[in-house]
């Protein structure tokens, strides 16, 4: 019985060893198969060819600060009380138009005093002229002394100067009287009325703000290599992605025909500083906005998009090919149908495609599928956008 027990134990141990060895073999075989399958596995992805396209470059701006070159205060030039206001808020005015009338009670009295001084000086001058003429005749006949003649001549010249001085005083008073009318300094629209009828103001006090928002401007810095693509007069389109254009700081009026948030504004390059014929690494582009629809005002707007009106042929890829928000890398398909991450330098985009400055060549294929989980060396099968395989 002891012998049978030992034989059974040996058989059990042998069977256990065989099972362990078989299990190890199966495990190794499975790992090899998985490794082989992973090595031969291809990932189906979408892609696009790097091509030269007709391109309308655009720039998205977080904020654009619009300003007017035509804003000025209508200022009181003398002290006085506001007697009449001839305009209201949002009134359109022309340069030189009277918009306020002031009253300074001292000016009429001073003009009367000046008239009296002129009349007195004129009488004195007439008397001095006659006296001077009489002494001149006497002097010609040697009937008077040289001293008396000189006195008469000096008195004549003095009264003549006194009359001119009195006349000058009156002219100055008339100028002040004319300044009781406050005029619009520029063509434009009354944006703000600072004072009301009956208020007393001193010289130099602003009474109203006049502005012309039919033309607005904004500027932006740009690299020299991009600035060289522009010229003074080049046109573009400006639009906004938010509804801020309907929020007005000055509550100016709208012109007929505007489309509200959907309005697209015509803009053109007003100036390039410094000029393109001068060396610079960074230039300032000044844009002029046609705002005759009256939607915009002098203020900051967010969510602006500037799109060129002129197409250019540029090397480009879909924006979906970019692997990050900085737009500086893509996955490229190699001749071995694997992928590699490539650093690129990009330019402007048009909302669908983005310009490639360096890093890619025409005809190469880039991956446009989501890039999460992709690594260099992965084998892929690529379906091109619009049909076909690589």
User: What value does the mean pLDDT take over residues 230-253?
Assistant: 88
**Confidence check: pLDDT of 32 > 60:** no
Question: pLDDT band at residue 165, thresholds of 50, 70 and 90?
Answer: very high
Determine the 3-state secondary structure of 345 from DSSP.
Answer: strand
Q: Length of the chain, please?
A: 390
Contact present, 333 and 43 (Cβ < 8 Å): no
Looking at the structure, do residues 321 and 273 belong to the same domain, yes or no?
Answer: no
Question: pLDDT band at residue 59, thresholds of 50, 70 and 90?
Answer: confident
Q: Give domain status of residue 78, yes or no.
A: no
Tokens 């008469």 correspond to what residue? 152
Cross-strand pairs, 127: none
Looking at the structure, do residues 227 and 300 belong to the same domain, yes or no?
Answer: yes
Q: Which of 159, 179, 199 is the last residue before a domain boundary?
A: 179
For residues 293 and 253, give the distance between their C-alpha atoms in angstroms, rounded to a whole number: 9
DSSP conformation class of 338: B
Q: Give domain status of residue 90, yes or no.
A: no
Q: Which of 298, 302, 248, 293 is nearest to 266 (CA)?
A: 293
Q: Token pair for residue 140?
A: 């010609």
* End-to-end Cα distance, the chain: 76
Report the chain's mean pLDDT, rounded to a whole number: 88
Q: Give domain status of residue 89, yes or no.
A: no
What total number of domains does the chain contain? 3
In tens, the pLDDT along 253-292 reads 888 788 888 899 999 999 999 999 999 999 999 999 999 9
Residue 38: its pLDDT value, please? 45
**Confidence check: pLDDT of 167 > 70:** yes
Q: What is the CATH number of the domain that holds 130?
A: 1.10.287.470
CB proximity list for 74: less than 8 A, separation 6 or greater: 99, 100, 182, 183, 184, 185, 206, 207, 208, 209, 210
For residues 22 and 330, give the distance between their C-alpha atoms in angstroms, rounded to a whole number: 47
DSSP conformation class of 242: S
Looking at the structure, do residues 277 and 355 belong to the same domain, yes or no?
Answer: no
Looking at the structure, do residues 318 and 278 belong to the same domain, yes or no?
Answer: no
Q: What is the CATH number of the domain that holds 65?
A: 2.40.30.170
Q: How far is CA 361 from CA 48, 175, 210, 369, in A?
A: 13, 75, 56, 20
For residues 75 and 250, give the distance between their C-alpha atoms in angstroms, rounded to a whole number: 19
Q: How far is CA 178 from CA 72, 103, 114, 164, 297, in A?
A: 21, 11, 16, 21, 34
Q: Give domain status of residue 271, yes or no.
A: yes
Residue 284: its pLDDT value, please? 96
Decide: residue 340, CB within 10 A, 0-12 exposed, 13-18 middle, 19+ buried. middle
Question: pLDDT band at residue 242, thresholds of 50, 70 and 90?
Answer: confident
Q: Give domain status of residue 120, yes or no.
A: yes
Residue 388: its pLDDT value, please? 46
Q: What is the CATH number of the domain that holds 368?
A: 2.40.420.20
Q: Give domain status of residue 301, yes or no.
A: yes
User: What value does the mean pLDDT take over residues 117-136?
Assistant: 92
Looking at the structure, do residues 216 and 276 belong to the same domain, yes or no?
Answer: yes
In tens, the pLDDT along 318-356 reads 999 999 888 999 999 999 999 999 999 998 888 899 999
CB proximity list for 176: less than 8 A, separation 6 or greater: 78, 104, 107
Contact present, 203 and 182 (Cβ < 8 Å): no
Residue 23: its pLDDT value, please? 64
Looking at the structure, do residues 227 and 290 belong to the same domain, yes or no?
Answer: yes
For residue 162, what are the domain limits?
A: 105-179
Q: Give domain status of residue 223, yes or no.
A: yes
Q: Give domain status of residue 4, yes or no.
A: no
DSSP conformation class of 214: S
Instruction: Please indicate whether residue 5 or residue 162 has the higher confidence score (pLDDT).
Output: 162
Q: Which of 127, 154, 179 is the last residue before a domain boundary?
A: 179
Starting at the edge strand found earlier in the chain, the sheet holding 215-223 runs: 51-55, 312-318, 353-358, 345-349, 58-65, 300-308, 235-240, 265-273, 282-290, 215-223
């Amino acid at each position: 019985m002891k012998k049978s027990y030992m034989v059974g134990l040996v058989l059990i141990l042998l069977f256990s060893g065989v099972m362990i060895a078989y299990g190890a073999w199966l495990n190794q075989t499975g790992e090899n198969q998985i490794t082989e399958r992973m090595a031969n596995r291809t990932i189906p992805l979408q892609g696009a060819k790097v091509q030269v396209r007709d391109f309308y470059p655009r720039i998205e701006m977080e904020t654009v600060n619009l300003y007017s070159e035509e804003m000025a205060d209508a200022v009181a030039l003398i002290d006085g009380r506001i007697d009449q206001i001839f305009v209201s808020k949002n009134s359109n005015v022309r340069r030189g138009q009277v918009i306020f009338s002031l009253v300074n009670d001292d000016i009429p009295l001073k003009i009367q005093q000046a008239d009296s001084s002129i009349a007195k000086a004129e009488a004195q001058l007439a008397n001095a002229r006659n006296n001077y003429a009489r002494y001149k005749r006497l002097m010609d006949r040697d009937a008077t002394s040289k001293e008396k003649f000189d006195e008469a001549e000096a008195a004549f010249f003095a009264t003549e100067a006194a009359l001119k001085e009195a006349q000058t005083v009156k002219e100055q008073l008339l100028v002040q009287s004319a300044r009781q009318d406050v005029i619009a300094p520029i063509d434009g629209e009354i944006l703000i009325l600072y004072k009301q009828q009956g208020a007393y103001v001193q010289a130099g006090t602003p009474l109203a703000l006049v502005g012309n928002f039919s033309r607005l401007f904004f500027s932006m810095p740009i690299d020299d290599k991009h600035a060289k693509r522009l010229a003074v007069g080049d046109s573009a389109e400006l639009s906004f992605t938010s509804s801020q254009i309907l929020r007005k700081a000055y509550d100016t009026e709208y012109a007929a025909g505007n489309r509200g948030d959907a309005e697209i504004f015509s803009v053109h390059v007003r100036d390039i500083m410094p000029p393109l014929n001068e060396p610079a690494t960074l230039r300032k582009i000044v844009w002029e906005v046609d705002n005759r629809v009256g939607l915009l005002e002098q203020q900051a707007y967010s969510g602006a998009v500037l799109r060129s009106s002129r197409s250019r042929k540029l090397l480009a890829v879909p924006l979906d090919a970019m692997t990050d928000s900085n737009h500086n890398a893509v996955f490229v398909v190699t001749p071995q149908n694997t992928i590699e991450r490539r650093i690129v330098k990009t330019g402007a985009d048009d909302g669908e495609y983005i310009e490639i400055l360096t890093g890619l060549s025409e005809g190469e294929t880039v991956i446009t599928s989501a890039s999460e989980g992709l690594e260099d060396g992965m084998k892929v099968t690529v379906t091109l956008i619009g049909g076909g395989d690589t």
